[in-house]
């Protein structure tokens, strides 16, 4: 069975500092990995994904993520956080389990303080 | 361009009633996905379609839940004999290419279902 773990319910960071939101996964075969962001009372917005190729993926709003196969991780990073980055972040994995369903993590709430 | 739309945006129903939730994907998108999301939690997979074919319905909680996409475009998620535990946000997403390709899913605004 495939699964996603986001070990931190909440991450606090000061504006201008680097941020990391952690994600580990379990899936058979090669994974497709995604990050989505959700602002209050809004839908989910796509940030970035890893399908194949370069392990470092760059996405929207200056975010990036690194695929680490040996550690089965896909941590989200940003060099310099903004207050406007405060939101709920979801990691997701899609792999073959008789179909290609996508499993989402429980989410990590990011607070960026001015 | 137009994104994924869902209707109704809010639905309040009484326990035991049937409800039908509609999803209109982005034009030309071949795959369509249904999720259920509790407040502050990640979306929970329900089912997905490639064109009109339902590929995986393993996430549907029980046989009161069903989904169809008869013409490969609009999809309907139906919940029969609703129960209070069915109350949640129901989200739909679509992707231009098949799920198997890893293509990006674009989400609709969701339908907030409340069962009294």
Strand order in the sheet with B65-68: B5-7, B19-24, B75-79, B65-68
Per-residue model confidence (pLDDT) at position A31: 87
B94: which 2 tokens? Answer: 């679509």
- Interface membership of A49 toward B (CB under 8 Å): yes
| Beta carbons of A43 and B108 less than 8 Å apart | yes
Burial of residue B6 (CB within 10 Å: 0-12, 13-18, 19+) is buried
CB-based contact (8 Å) between B41 and chain A?
A: yes
Q: Is the peptide bond before B8 cis (omega within 30 degrees of 0)?
A: yes
Q: How far does B109 lie from chain A, in Å, by closest CA?
A: 5
Per-residue confidence (pLDDT) for residue A98, from 0 to 100: 66
Element containing residue A58 per DSSP (H, E)? strand A56-58
- Please write the tens of the pLDDT for every residue from B23-57: 999 999 999 999 999 988 899 999 999 999 999 99
* Average pLDDT of chain A to the nearest whole number: 93
Whether A20 has its CB under 8 Å from any CB of chain B: the answer is no
A56-86 pLDDT, tens digit per residue, is: 999 999 999 999 999 999 999 999 999 999 9
The predicted pLDDT at position B66 comes to 98
**pLDDT tens, B57-90?**
999 999 999 999 999 999 999 999 999 999 999 9
* C-alpha A36 chain-centroid distance: 6
Please tell me the distance in Å from B43's CA to the nearest CA on chain A.
6
Identify the pLDDT of residue A103: 92
pLDDT value of residue B1: 57
- Residues in chain A with CB shorter than 8 Å from the CB of B46 are none
Chain A residues in contact with B43 (beta carbon < 8 A): 44, 90, 104
Give the model's pLDDT for residue B99.
Answer: 86
Inform me whether the pLDDT recorded for B106 exceeds 90. yes
């Amino acid at each position: 069975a495939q699964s996603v773990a986001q070990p931190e319910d909440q991450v606090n960071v000061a504006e201008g500092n680097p941020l990391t939101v952690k994600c580990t996964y379990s899936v058979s075969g090669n994974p497709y990995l995604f990050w989505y962001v959700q602002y209050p009372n809004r839908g989910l917005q796509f940030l970035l994904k890893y399908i194949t190729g370069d392990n470092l993926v760059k996405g929207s709003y200056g975010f990036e993520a690194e695929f680490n196969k040996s550690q089965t991780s896909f941590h989200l990073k940003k060099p310099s956080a903004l207050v406007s980055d405060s939101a709920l972040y979801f990691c997701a994995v899609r792999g073959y389990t008789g179909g290609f369903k996508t499993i989402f993590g429980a989410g990590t709430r990011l607070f960026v303080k001015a | 361009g137009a994104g994924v739309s869902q209707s109704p945006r809010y639905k309040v129903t009484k326990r035991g009633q049937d409800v039908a939730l509609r999803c209109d994907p982005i034009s030309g998108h071949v795959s369509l996905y249904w999720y259920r999301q509790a407040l502050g939690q990640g979306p929970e997979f329900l089912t997905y379609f490639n064109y009109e074919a339902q590929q995986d319905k393993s996430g549907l909680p029980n046989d009161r839940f069903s989904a169809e996409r008869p013409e490969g475009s609009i999809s309907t998620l139906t919940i029969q004999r609703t129960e209070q535990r069915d109350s949640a946000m129901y989200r739909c997403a679509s992707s231009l290419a098949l799920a198997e390709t890893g293509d990006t899913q674009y989400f609709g605004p969701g339908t907030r279902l409340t069962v009294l």
